Amino acid sequence: MKKFLEINNLSFSYMKNELILNQVSLSINKGEFVSVLGVSGSGKTTLLRLIAGLDKQNSGSIILENKVIADENSTLAPEKRNIGLVVQDKALFPHLNVKENIMFGIRKLKNKENLAMEMMKLFRIDHHMAKYPHELSGGEQQRVALARALVPKPQLLLLDEPFDGLDKVLKADLHIEVKKIVKLKEMTVVMVTHDHDEATLLSDRVLSIKDGNIN
């Protein structure tokens, strides 16, 4: 299998004596769905933020498709990494409707309408396209957030507790949809979660993180 994402000896701390990540190394293959399982405060969200470029590591490197996107000397800006990120709180724009939210990251493309419609149909939210986030249920909002992250066709999709806070029925429904769409699009995914059953159901491989170390 081709190595797609390589993380080498990654360390991060907010303060000198408080390590959040401690020399984490990780290798992910193209098309693989990997979950990192850990409790709150274990460093799993920090790991995603470093991969996305939202934080800068203290040491170590991140390589995406044989290109160094972060090391001790330089870091590629988040918008140049072609990485999709979905977080627990959805982070939808309240003043934009469903269709406009999904098109936000591709608004300069001529075929943005067609791309948005394809993604809305995949996530079964095309009948909500004119609605605003406050008019949607939690599950519908998360479908919009996932569609918005996928429509630019990112090299890598990062999921940060994407189903947390949803009831069991909505969560089970979204698990099926996401698994199907990820396989259809042949996406490489890294998800962090505290839910062991969720990680096992969705992933090709499950890792655990504790005290800033991955096992």
Please count the structural domains in the chain.
1
Among candidate residues 42, 37, 51, the one with its CA nearest the CA of residue 20? 42
pLDDT mean for each 10 residues of the chain (215 residues): 89 84 95 94 93 95 96 92 86 94 91 92 93 92 90 92 84 87 90 93 95 87
**Range of the structural domain that residue 111 is part of:** 92-153
Angle in degrees, 0-180, between the axes of helices 112-122 and 168-184, rounded to the nearest 10: 130
For residue 128, tell me if it sits in a domain: yes
Task: Indicate the burial class of 208 (C-beta count within 10 angstroms; 0-12, 13-18, 19 or more).
Answer: middle
pLDDT at site 163:
86
For residue 96, tell me if it sits in a domain: yes
| Pairing mode, strands 18-29 and 3-15 | antiparallel
pTM (2 d.p.) = 0.89
Question: What digits encode the pLDDT tens for the residues 62-106?
Answer: 999 999 999 988 999 999 999 999 887 768 999 999 999 999 989
pLDDT at site 3:
85
pLDDT at site 1:
59
For every residue of 98-138, which 3-state class applies, written as one string?
Answer: HHHHHHHHHCCCCCHHHHHHHHHHHCCCHHHCCCCHHHCCH
pLDDT at site 87:
85
For residue 130, tell me if it sits in a domain: yes
pLDDT at site 18:
81
For residue 64, tell me if it sits in a domain: no
For residue 59, tell me if it sits in a domain: no
Distance of CA 181 to the CA centre of its chain: 14
pLDDT at site 138:
86
pLDDT at site 166:
80
For residue 119, tell me if it sits in a domain: yes
pLDDT at site 182:
87
